[in-house]
Structures are given as structure tokens and as C-alpha cells.
Amino acid sequence: MAVGALGDGGRITVVNPATGEAVDVVSADSAATVAAKVRAAALAQPAWAARKVGERVAILARFRDLLGEAQERLATLLTTEMGKPIAQARSEIGALGPRIDFFLETVPKLSEAEVVSRAAQAGETEELIRYEPLGVVAHISAWNYPYFVSSNVFVPALLTGNAVVYKPSELTPKTGLAIAELLHEAGVPVDVFVPLIGDGRVGAALLAQPVNAVCFTGSHATGLRVAEAVAGKLLGPLGGRLQLELGGKDPAYVCDDADPVSAAAALADGAFYNTGQSCCSVERIYVHAACAEAFIEAFVETVRGFRVGDPLDPETYIGALAREAQLRELEAQVSDAVALGATLRLGGKAREGKGFYFEPTVLTNVLPSMRVMQQESFGPIIGIQVVADDEEAVALMNATEYGLTASVFSGDRARAEGILARVHSGTGYWNCCDRVSARVPWSGRNASGIGATLGHAGIRAFQAPKAYHLRLP
């Protein structure tokens, strides 16, 4: 069976979102090649795991260096495949070095056996934990930050001795292949990191294989399908290792003691960076009535100043959307909001002409029930609602099914932390937003997913603890 994104005989057509034109064609995998590649990965993994962790660290360090050398070429490819402004593409690839460094430094420490209780004399029992790799990790990934979301999985998974079968999004297949090439050039054996090209059908074919972990990054709807597909294996080869990094509808709250102008600048960037296509984009803003007017004015002016245009122009801040269909979703969110009484302060429609552009859009006087305040927008659009006090803000921040990040802008740390403790989210920000660090875990609550990447938790996710009870003779 041939599988391909567009049903054209197992090929993926790469479309440049800035022009809407096809720029390349890539061969897709079939169910048979998926099965063969997973088998090869399973055969290659034990030898990779048997190497010293220091050898794997040296290989991944070489990958980090190669990535740095190829930055400009890769940034141009990424921009052409998914419309990310070139300055932001460079910054995504550039920021990978420090993320990889965290893993290079931390994995060796977390690979050591942990002695829990020592035995000194005959008859006493030492208890220790050794950490084993899981085996073959299947990673199905998204297009919005293809370097970040894939490296959060493959760097710790490879360092801890696993093989990785990686399906990049069908919107960024060439970026996925470029990552694989650099890993192989750095010294990762070709069967230990294996790219698969194709759309959801190739993803589904991968889930049908006897892999030992599934890491999925993508939408909530697909995440549910992935969970259903692997449910029967959770007590088999998967051993419960299912990780889902899903969408968000991330709220921000601007308190009456915040500086409205600096909060507006930070939140406009948090909402519109990457053309609003970040899992942790700010998607809803609540502002205290006492500073609402000043905040909204500063916010609208900041967004008005964002430069929309050719993503290959280094001055561009807002590029084309990766997916044409999302233009219709954003238009539907705007017309729903306006029909129910919202005020359109800026933007509101797709741009005419070539490419998948949507005007940066700000809506005020929104209601919590509006689509724009409930459903992930994943585009350059934001709703702002005025609230009377912290109680109302907390209730509204918790009023969607998601729980990825939340931010509070306030002059008072205790007040902000008190609010964040009551909001259901995997990450809380005070006076900042839309920020990820390799040092702390990245996770979601409720519909935003299960499991964690990054931090120590994101390394342990690729290890199976084995307990030893060793009695001295």
C-alpha cells in the first residue's frame, strides 16, 4: 500500500505557504517500509545501548556543532516549508544548542546507578536502581517548531540508549530529513535514528508496530486517535510509555498593579510570535478593569506596528500561516465573535492575493463562550476580556478544557504566584510568557496532554528503572 499526503502515489508535495506554490515533492513511506524500518531499529538498538554514555554524548555534541554550521541553510528551508519568519527560524535553530547542552550535561548523571541503601556485612542487602533504555521510541511530531519539538524527544531518547523512529509533520518533511542527515553525519547509526515520511496514515502505520514508547506532539483531536490506537499495547510492548504533547488555549491575566505598557509589549509578542502558531502562544487575555484602557491601547498599537510580509525578509515579524485551511478557521472565529457582540479592534480577515496570510487581529468585549476564547486559534488573533478582580480572572483562566501554560502580570510576586497556583496548567509565568527552558519539565494538564519532556522528567521518560536487591553472601 502506498501512503502519501495527497493521495498521489506515495508522494508529499511541499507547498511554500508564502506563495501557495508547490516547491518540491518528497517520496513517502509505505506500510511495508514502516514495518521494515521499525524492525531494523529494534535490531540496531541493543548495540547503541551497549556503547558508553560518553560516546553517545560525543556524537550528539557533534550533531549540535553541525547544526550550528548549517543554521542558515536550515533556516531558509524551514521558512520555505512552513512560512516561519526567517529571523525566528534562525533563532529556533540557534536556541537548540543550549537545549542540547542541558541534555549532554545531565544525561550522564541520570544514567548512573542509584544506591538507595548500602550493605556492609554478610547477610545485609543493598538496594539499587539501574536505568535501562526502553528500546524503540516512535516519535510523531508537529510542524510549528520542528527543531524544538523533535529534539525534546530524540536528544534524550538517543542519549539514554534508545533507537528513534521519527515521523516529522507532512508540512515539514524536508526539515525532518535534514535533521536525520545531520544526526547520521554526526555518527548516529542510520538504523538508530530513522525518519519516516508521510501524513497521518504513515503515523497510524507506525503506531501499529511493536514500538516501546510513543511520543506524540500535535493537536488534541489527533492525540485522542493516537491514544486509542495504542490502548491495547499499553500493557504490552509499550509498557505504558505514552506521551502526548497537545494544544493549548493559554490565558494571561494583567493585574491592576502591573505596568500596562510593558505587559502589553510582552503579551503582544507572546500572542503573535511564530504568527501565533506556538503551543504556548498567549491565546486569551484577561485584564483588570482598573488598567484595561491603558493596556488595550498599548496592546493594539504594538500589534499595529508588527510587520507582516515575506517570511524570507529578515524584518518580517508575522509571516504566512503554515496551513491554508486555518485561514477559514480564523475567519470563523472572528465572525462568531463579532456576531455575538465582540469589537474588532484590528485585522479580522485573510489577506487577498498569494500566500496564506491572515491580518493580525485583536478582539475586545469578548465573552468566555465565544469560539475565539474556547478553541485553539493557532494564528495571529487574540481576544481580550476585562475582569473585575482576581477571582473572576482565575475562574475564566480555568474555563477551557486545556491547561498548558498561564501567565500573570503583576507588581507583586506573592499575588501572582497565588493566582498561578490556582490555575490548571503545566507551566506558570510571572511577568513573562511563551517561554520554554530545557531545565524545567514541559507538560500539560487536562486536554493539553500527558507525560513531560525537558528537565529531569524529560530524561527519565526514556528510561525504565530496574530495582536490584543484592544480598551479601
Q: CB under 6 A: which stretch of 125-133, 164-172, 268-276, 454-462 binds ligand TXE?
A: 164-172
> What does the alpha-carbon distance between residue 353 and residue 358 come to, in Å, rounded to a whole number?
11
Task: Give the amino acid at 253.
Answer: Y
Catalytic residue (one of 92, 170, 245, 329): 245
Q: Is 464 helix (H, G, I), strand (E, B) or coil?
A: strand
Q: Which is nearer to ligand TXE, 162 or 448 (CB)?
A: 448
Query: Shortest distance, CB of residue 4 to ligand TXE, whole angstroms?
Result: 12
Size of the site for ligand TXE (CB under 6 A): 31
> What does the alpha-carbon distance between residue 215 and residue 386 come to, in Å, rounded to a whole number?
38
238 lies in the site for ligand TXE, by CB under 6 A: no
Restricted to residues 348-377, the positions that interact with ligand TXE (CB under 6 A) are 376
226 lies in the site for ligand TXE, by CB under 6 A: yes
Q: Which is nearer to ligand TXE, 439 or 471 (CB)?
A: 439
83 lies in the site for ligand TXE, by CB under 6 A: no
144 lies in the site for ligand TXE, by CB under 6 A: yes
Site string for ligand TXE, 122-141 (x = CB under 6 A): ------------------xx
Specify whether the CB–CB gap between 116 and 447 falls below 8 A: no
Q: Which is nearer to ligand TXE, 71 or 448 (CB)?
A: 448
Q: Assess whether 433 carries a catalytic annotation.
A: no
454 lies in the site for ligand TXE, by CB under 6 A: no
279 lies in the site for ligand TXE, by CB under 6 A: yes
Among 91, 219, 365, 431, binds ligand TXE (CB under 6 A): 219
The distance of Cα 186 from the centroid of its chain, to the nearest Å, equals 24
Specify whether the CB–CB gap between 145 and 434 falls below 8 A: no
| H helix or E strand, kind and range, residue 287 | strand 282-288
User: In the chain, what are the helix, strand and coil shares in percent, each to the nearest 5?
Assistant: 40, 20, 35
In our burial notation (b when 16+ CB lie closer than 10 A, e otherwise), range 51-81 reads eebeebbebbebbbeebeebbeebbebbbbb
Q: Assess whether 215 carries a catalytic annotation.
A: no
207 lies in the site for ligand TXE, by CB under 6 A: yes
The angle that helices 96-110 and 146-159 make with each other, rounded to 10 degrees, is 20
200 lies in the site for ligand TXE, by CB under 6 A: yes
Catalytic residue (one of 279, 280, 291, 433): 279
C-alpha R_g of the chain: 23
Restricted to residues 432-451, the positions that interact with ligand TXE (CB under 6 A) are 444, 448-449
Query: Shortest distance, CB of residue 206 to ligand TXE, whole angstroms?
Result: 7
Biggest CA–CA distance in the chain, Å, is 82
Q: Which residue is nearest to ligand TXE (CB)?
A: 203
The angle that helices 292-304 and 260-272 make with each other, rounded to 10 degrees, is 40
Which residue reads 517570511 in cell numbers? 311
Task: Give the amino acid at 297.
Answer: E
Which residue reads 463562550 in cell numbers? 369
Q: Which residues are catalytic?
A: 245, 279
Interface residues with ligand TXE (CB under 6 A) are 140-144, 149, 167, 169-170, 199-200, 203-204, 207, 217-219, 222, 225-226, 245-248, 279, 376, 378, 404, 444, 448-449
